[in-house]
Amino acid sequence: MCGRYAVTTTPEGLKHLFGVTNDLVNYPARYNVAPTTRNPVVRLNPDTGARSMDLLRWGLVPHWAKDMSAGAKAINARSETLAEKPTFRSALKKRRCIVPADAFYEWKKTSPTQKQPYAISLDDGQPMAFAGLWEGWREPATGDWVHTYTIITTTPNALMEPIHDRMPVILPAKSWSTWLGEQPATEPELLALLTPYPANGMRLWPVNGRVGKVGNDDAGLLDPIELGVGVAI
């Protein structure tokens, strides 16, 4: 799964990279993004068809959910079952998005009571484009719309396999247009995009166990450490 990540590229940098056309959303650099927080997401504006970057809440809440608690169970969506799950299948057809990230974190179990966190990024240091889905949910009491998202995961590549059995789908730039819906694609063609990113284009390094606490959100979380500094589970 992907339960924590970092977004450190500036709004201007992401606007240039992804070609979004709306007014810039303001957000601070985040080194420990956690579920339920609002973060930049790239999607097509349903009215104009242009790329837009907006702040959405992490944890997808389907439109038919009774309350927001559904989002806690849908921070990730397995690529293998997207077309079957009621929570995701409508969004797969109509509401696909890209979730920018500069790094993500994963924990490797090192003993029955210890796990070691790792940071993972692209080898060239450029932001990653996670494949995602988004939804709109209306608050029954107020009628206000809440927009949420999920990050799609797939099987691990050779780099990630020793760490965890899942990894986020990272879309290469050539797939962005198809995934966002700027050109027609069949469901099988969309699902074919959801493959592990090449291991030789990524790197990982051990980081301090402080990343396990949501309240810690500073640049030092991405600093490499010597192996052996884990955190009890």
Q: Active-site residue numbers?
A: 2, 106
Q: Determine the Cα–Cα distance for residues 97 and 148; give it in Å rounded to an integer.
A: 11
Q: Determine the Cα–Cα distance for residues 226 and 142; give it in Å rounded to an integer.
A: 50
In the numeric block, which tokens belong to residue 119?
A: 């940071």
